Structure 1
């Protein structure tokens, strides 16, 4: 699933390509891709002739502020937003087409059809319609995402730190890839209990979250599977990843072989030398 860096990369690309443009038409090819309103004609009527003011990212959601109302998108596992000419051959997994002047279109492609699109009328707030927004924790780049905030949450949790980082209600936007990267950068083993972290480890963790996410955004995200930038270009972070996707390869810091294990049904990559367990570790 695209994580914060991938969604932020798409958001920036959308702002560059579509801000100030007006929808001149909409085609819905798969009705179940619509989360709200669920009726094709109502969605089309709501979007048509609206102007895009700017795009925002909240967690893993994309929100376009329109001249009247909002357009929301969640890419989920395989969703893509591609900026194309209207005569580009149609992918069989195309679900929604949003048309603009000068033969341009924004095409929502989604192989597994888990992604969703919303039109929020002007008299509603996105949070009231997209209920997932209500559950999101602080953004990693927010001033509210402080050492003390993290400590207050971690000290109460006996979950493994890897599982903690994946909880969107605690910190928005981190998924499996960047949780592994962040834990490596802060020298924390993924099985460490959240409540066992020292304050210095918590501080290192917060700084690692910010650094890793910033680096991944600069690299255009990670393209291990379906993620593409809006121009169809792959993200480049995979080539510089510290541990994710590097099972059996040498650690870039100490040369130890990178390990991989299952934790909560998800893969976890780590260096057993750089990420040693705390002495007071307990299961």
Structure 2
């Protein structure tokens, strides 16, 4: 599933390519991709003629602020890529990929295509008089953004102090820290020298600060690399992310640790594949 760095990469690409673009038309090829409204004709009717003012990221959600011809609020467009979603900026006459779910026709014979193999991704149109959180209810549950100034040692310590969960499981909880998934939880735990199975509340103050700084560093590095492509992720131009080539542990089971040459272990934790170095993380 695309995580914070992948979604941030897409968000930045969308702002570069589609900001101030007017949506001239739309086509829904798979109705269940729509989360709101459920009617494809209603969705298209409400977005046609609107302009994309800017894109924002919240956790793993993408949000486009829409305006009308008078630059007034025309609602929001919300997208969650889920496991295999892609947003591609293409020429309109480009042959359709097999798994195109929604098309948004823009100026200059270009379009945005939402491609989703597994069909778990969702798209919302939020009416002007509604807040995104009212329609996209998952936004209400999101915790703090890890790249924001609010992601402090005090915040993390407060959340950790009563948790009996393994720290890896703790980091995957979107209600605590928004945007971290399987890849970057493993990477941050390696950088902070903490074993994924360590109980969250048992971390020392020094470990908490190492973990906080590692999360920020790993996420920023991944954004700089354009995210990670292990299967479906592409940016809006269809380009793979490059973080996978420099990953410390994720996806490197049985390969030598980049620091100590010990074989990277791969185990299941909470139903998720988890990678760590038995020597570096104790």
Q: Offset at 1:51? A: 0.2
Instruction: Please give the alpha-carbon distance, in whole angstroms, between the structure 1 residues aligned to 2:121 and 2:170.
Output: 24
Give the match for residue 28 of structure 2: 28
Aligned to 1:231, the other structure's residue is in SS state coil
Instruction: Please give the alpha-carbon distance, in whole angstroms, between the structure 1 residues aligned to 2:254 and 2:207.
Output: 27
Q: Offset at 1:26? A: 0.2
- CA deviation map 1:193-249 (0-9, x unaligned): 001100010000000000000000000000001100110100000000000001111
Give the match for residue 16 of structure 1: 16
Instruction: Please give the alpha-carbon distance, in whole angstroms, between the structure 2 residues aligned to 1:176 and 1:211.
Output: 16
Instruction: Please give the alpha-carbon distance, in whole angstroms, between the structure 2 residues aligned to 1:174 and 1:222.
Output: 13
Aligned to 1:69, the other structure's residue is in SS state strand
Which of 246, 259, 266 lines up with 1:240 in the alignment? 246
Which of 104, 112, 117 lines up with 2:118 in the alignment? 112
Aligned to 1:107, the other structure's residue is in SS state strand
Q: Does 1:265 align with 2:276?
A: no
Q: Offset at 1:14? A: 0.2
Q: Offset at 1:159? A: 0.1
Instruction: Please give the alpha-carbon distance, in whole angstroms, between the structure 2 residues aligned to 1:22 and 1:61.
Output: 21
Q: Offset at 1:168? A: 0.1
Which of 80, 91, 99 lines up with 1:93 in the alignment? 99
Aligned to 1:167, the other structure's residue is in SS state coil
- CA deviation map 1:239-273 (0-9, x unaligned): 00000001111111111111100001000000000
Aligned to 2:237, the other structure's residue is in SS state coil
Aligned to 1:55, the other structure's residue is in SS state strand
Instruction: Please give the alpha-carbon distance, in whole angstroms, between the structure 1 residues aligned to 2:108 and 2:140.
Output: 37
Give the match for residue 253 of structure 1: 259
Give the match for residue 134 of structure 2: 128
Q: Does 1:180 align with 2:189?
A: no
Instruction: Please give the alpha-carbon distance, in whole angstroms, between the structure 1 residues aligned to 2:103 and 2:158.
Output: 45
* TM-score when normalising by structure 2: 0.97
Instruction: Please give the alpha-carbon distance, in whole angstroms, between the structure 2 residues aligned to 1:146 and 1:22.
Output: 39
Name which of structure 1's ranges 178-187 and 248-257 shifts more when overlaid on structure 2: 248-257
Give the match for residue 89 of structure 2: 83
Which of 76, 79, 89 lines up with 1:73 in the alignment? 79
Q: Once superposed, which parts of structure 1, at least 4 consecutive aligned residues long, lie more than 2 Å away?
A: none
Aligned to 2:233, the other structure's residue is in SS state coil
- CA deviation map 1:36-87 (0-9, x unaligned): 0000111001110000000000000000001011000000001100000001
**Where in structure 2 are there 5+ consecutive unaligned residues?**
68-73
Give the alignment of 1:141-180 within 5 angstroms: 141-180=147-186
Which of 210, 224, 228 lines up with 2:230 in the alignment? 224
Aligned to 1:183, the other structure's residue is in SS state helix
Aligned to 2:96, the other structure's residue is in SS state coil
Name which of structure 1's ranges 140-149 and 57-66 shifts more when overlaid on structure 2: 140-149
Aligned to 2:89, the other structure's residue is in SS state strand
Instruction: Please give the alpha-carbon distance, in whole angstroms, between the structure 2 residues aligned to 1:206 and 1:57.
Output: 21
Q: Does 1:41 align with 2:47?
A: no
Name which of structure 1's ranges 250-259 and 48-57 shifts more when overlaid on structure 2: 250-259
**Where in structure 1 are there 5+ consecutive unaligned residues?**
277-283
Give the match for residue 63 of structure 1: 63
Report the number of matched residues. Answer: 276
Q: Offset at 1:92? A: 1.6
Instruction: Please give the alpha-carbon distance, in whole angstroms, between the structure 2 residues aligned to 1:31 and 1:130.
Output: 17
